[in-house]
């Protein structure tokens, strides 16, 4: 079965016209005679900028000031080429798509902006905002996770349903939402790119929030790669189970072969969990970690193993 395309697009999400099909044997009317009625949903309007508001459902919270200034420079020269997508809401227009253009227009103090007004419920707005940002790779890992969580909690969608809507695998959605289990300081490191998603997945192997935060701080301070972080987490786990009489030591970082590290990183991305590759002279083992029955089931599905 082929992977679905990313999202369903504006037309399907917001009520676009279905394709025409011919159901009778009567000859088709020539195109020159048949004049379709204009679709008001595609009509571009110009509205005052101060009547457009951002949406609380927008998953993206971080906007680069430098990127906005560059976009503003482009708009100053070329204008807003792609209209904003909005919906009427409480006497104003609420953004569905195009918040970056709206923010850049504010920098330029434009009096008005081009918009296309659509009808859309909250679920469609959130889906479309997620799809637009995922297509453009605009979301950081935490913003993406929050968006999936909103779809699950506000609209009772399963991870499988969310994955289908946004064109991701179920494993990708599950791995993303797990990041929200991290304490706020660690999530902040992830938002700002001080640690990677690979680092964060390894940190999730720790159950104590203080240890999770300690590991994240060590990653930032010492510039640890993912494999080194796994070594750190293993030692922190061992220290957590050590008897009170044992001497506590700061975990040491063990260097690893670069090729083994790259292979492990690929395996981690594949399975979305900690993977350890032990290799020596053509022999070794692959150890895949899981932390719940659901994660075990997901790993088995990736391997094509039926647990029944």
Active site residues: 99
Q: Is the dihedral of CA 239, 243, 245, 246 positive or negative?
A: negative
User: Per residue in 166-190, is it b (16+ CB within 10 Å) or e — as a string?
Assistant: bbbbbbbbbbbbbbeebeeebbebb
- Taking alpha carbons only, the member of 295, 301, 299, 262 closest to residue 279 is 262
- Say if residues 129 and 96 touch (Cβ distance below 8 Å): yes
**Strands of the sheet with 44-48, listed across from one edge:** 44-48, 112-117, 84-89, 92-97, 52-53
Region of residue 34 (left: phi > 0; alpha: psi -120 to 50; beta: else): beta
Place of tokens 């940002």: 133
Measured distance CA(223)–CA(121) in Å, rounded: 45
Q: DSSP assignment, residue 3? A: P
């Amino acid at each position: 079965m082929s992977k679905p395309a990313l999202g369903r697009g504006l037309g399907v999400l917001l009520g676009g016209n279905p394709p025409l099909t011919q159901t009778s044997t009567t000859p088709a009317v020539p195109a020159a005679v048949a004049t379709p009625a204009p679709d008001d949903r595609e009509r571009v309007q110009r509205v005052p900028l101060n009547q457009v508001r951002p949406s609380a459902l927008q998953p993206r919270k971080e906007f680069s000031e430098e990127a906005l200034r560059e976009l503003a420079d482009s708009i100053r020269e070329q204008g807003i080429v792609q209209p904003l997508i909005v919906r009427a809401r409480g006497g104003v227009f609420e953004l569905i798509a195009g918040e970056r253009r709206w923010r850049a227009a504010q920098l330029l103090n434009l009096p008005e902006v081009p918009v296309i007004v659509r009808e859309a419920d909250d679920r469609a707005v959130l889906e479309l905002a997620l799809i637009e940002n995922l297509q453009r790779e605009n979301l950081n890992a935490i913003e993406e996770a929050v968006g999936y969580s909103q779809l699950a909690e506000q609209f009772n969608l399963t991870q499988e349903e969310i994955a289908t809507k946004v064109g991701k695998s179920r494993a990708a959605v599950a791995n993303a939402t797990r990041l929200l289990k991290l304490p706020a300081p660690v999530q902040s490191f992830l938002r700002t790119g001080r640690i990677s998603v690979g680092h964060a997945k390894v940190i999730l192997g720790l159950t104590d929030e203080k240890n999770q935060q300690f590991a994240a701080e060590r990653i930032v301070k010492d510039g640890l790669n993912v494999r080194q972080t796994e070594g750190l987490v293993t030692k922190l786990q061992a220290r957590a189970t050590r008897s009170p009489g044992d001497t506590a030591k700061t975990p040491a970082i063990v260097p690893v072969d670069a090729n083994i590290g790259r292979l492990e990183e690929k395996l981690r991305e594949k399975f979305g969990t900690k993977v350890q590759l032990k290799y020596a002279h053509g022999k070794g083992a692959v150890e895949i970690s899981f932390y719940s029955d659901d994660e075990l089931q997901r790993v088995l599905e990736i391997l094509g193993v039926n647990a029944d």
